[in-house]
Amino acid sequence: MQPQRHDLSPGPAALARRLRELREERWPDLVLTQATMAEALGGLAVSTISSWESPNAPPPPRRRLAAYATFFATRRSVEGGRYRVLAEHELEDAERTERNHLLTELLALRDAAPGPPAIYGPDAAARNTWHFPDGAPVRLVCGKLPDDALSPLTSPAKLNHVELLAYADLDALVELFGHVRAENPTSDVRFKLATELVADDLSGHVVLLGGLGWNQATMWFARKINLPVRQVDDPKIKEGDVFELTRGRDRERFYPAHEEGLGLTEDVGLLARMRNPINTARTLTICNGVFGRGVLGAVRCLTDSQIRNSNEAYLASRFGGSSQFGLLMRVPVMQFVKGPVVQSTTLTPDLNDPHTRLLEWPERTP
């Protein structure tokens, strides 16, 4: 007899069947009832589990699918008769990889379900932060380099004039622009200097690259939003602004790392997503850093083909249905000496590594 094939064509019915299959067949020697699953997932009602396994009911939220994926990623979830979802720090590397595979599968099934797509926050972008399903315009906004840092080729009078040489954080812009265009092929995706923005540019999805020093748009939006961190001048940092967290009377600053003889070995990057205060039906995303390396790292954590899927899975499991999220992260910079010159490359932060994550918000709920 041929083994039964399960219909996994995308859609709510396929997702419901897959959830039931995981419960009944993942561990054939173990009986997992809907009541057991309800308890393991945090004391849900049994009727909730039943509805998620019904092809005619709405699918579970993405954060619940992240819990499903974590639960079924490891047999340790059911060891000792205590059924539970392991915390992120408890997962071993192989278990985390299996969780990410499962979560990607479940989210793919859920995303194919009919209904109006969410257009803001990580709940809409649990698998793909840079995909905007509403098709609205997307604007990537950079600061302009100061006059003393401009190449002579930025002058229109030069025969070999290069307009892009006036853009700050050009590495991050090139990395992100191609990715966003590929993920939103029918959308109007453009990049602009902050000094060239018009009103219509600000009412779509806005992505700010770079910090207060050179990007005037970041400075303007900073007054309209409520982030737990702000950028401030610091005498220890000559060419950038550090991130500062204020809790009551306590203040904490997050510094890059330097090594004598090599220079910068670790920057601090900021990735934040929230509703656009100009048009709350759209998003505002900030990719920032103390230096340009931090900006590039904040971008690459969700564009790097080798790491972005696992980083997206982390965001789905950590922030789930929140309409806004943010992280401060360490951005490693590999420095090496080649002859008389010190060369370097910016590495992609791994969000699944607790050492990478300096600060996250909103805070975890009990």
* Residue found under tokens 């249905």: 321
pLDDT interval class at 248 (50, 70, 90): confident
Q: Do 67 and 144 fall into the same domain?
A: no
Give the domain-ending residue among 96, 111, 126: 111
Supply the pLDDT for residue 323.
66
Q: Do 86 and 149 fall into the same domain?
A: no
Q: Assess whether pLDDT exceeds 70 at residue 116.
A: no
Q: Tell me which of 6 and 249 has the higher pLDDT.
A: 249
> What's the domain count of the chain?
2
Phi, psi angle pair for 205, to nearest 5°? -80, 125
139 token code pair? 């604007």
Q: Do 89 and 235 fall into the same domain?
A: no
Give the integer Cα–Cα distance in Å for 267 and 286. Answer: 16
Provide the residue type at 366 as one letter. P
43 token code pair? 């004391």
Residue 253: give the domain boundaries: 138-361
Q: Do 156 and 285 fall into the same domain?
A: yes
pLDDT interval class at 181 (50, 70, 90): very high
Three-state secondary structure of 332-349: EEEEEEECCEEEEEECCC
193 token code pair? 């200097």
Give the domain-ending residue among 92, 111, 130: 111
Q: Do 80 and 167 fall into the same domain?
A: no
Give the domain-ending residue among 111, 128, 154: 111
200 token code pair? 């219509």
SS3 219: helix
Judge whether 131 lies within some domain.
no
SS3 4: coil
The DSSP-derived string for 136-200 is: --EEEEEPBPPGGG--GGGSTTSTT--GGGGBTTHHHHHHHHHHHHHH-TTS-EEEEEGGG--GG
Judge whether 1 lies within some domain.
no
Q: Do 196 and 105 fall into the same domain?
A: no
In this structure, the strands spanning 205-209 and 279-289 are parallel
Q: Assess whether pLDDT exceeds 90 at residue 366.
A: no
CA 335 to chain centre: 26
Judge whether 3 lies within some domain.
no
CA angle 182, 187, 190 (to 5 degrees): 80
For residues 347-360, give the mean pLDDT: 93
| Alpha-carbon distances, residue 317 vs 96, 160, 351 (angstroms) | 11, 49, 11
Q: Do 202 and 99 fall into the same domain?
A: no
Instruction: Decide: 240 and 299 in contact? Cβ < 8 Å.
Output: no
Judge whether 350 lies within some domain.
yes
Give the integer Cα–Cα distance in Å for 287 and 154. Answer: 25
**Angle, to 10 degrees, between the axis of helix 12-25 and the axis of helix 62-72?**
30
Phi, psi angle pair for 140, to nearest 5°? -95, 120
Strand partners, 326: 272, 361
Q: Assess whether pLDDT exceeds 80 at residue 218.
A: yes
Look at residues 142, 277, 138 and name the one whose alpha carbon lies nearest to residue 211.
142
Give the integer Cα–Cα distance in Å for 139 and 206. Answer: 5
Supply the pLDDT for residue 284.
95
Q: What is the pTM of this model?
A: 0.66
Give the integer Cα–Cα distance in Å for 280 and 273. Answer: 12
Supply the pLDDT for residue 174.
95
For residues 331-340, give the mean pLDDT: 76
Q: Write the pLDDT tens digit of every residue in 32-89.
A: 999 999 999 888 889 889 989 988 777 888 778 888 999 999 999 999 878 999 988 8
Strand partners, 209: 142, 287
Residue-wise burial string across 28-65, b where 16 or more C-beta atoms lie within 10 A, e elsewhere: eeeebebebbbebbeebeeebbebbbeeeeebbebbbb
Q: Write the pLDDT tens digit of every residue in 185-201.
A: 999 999 999 999 999 99
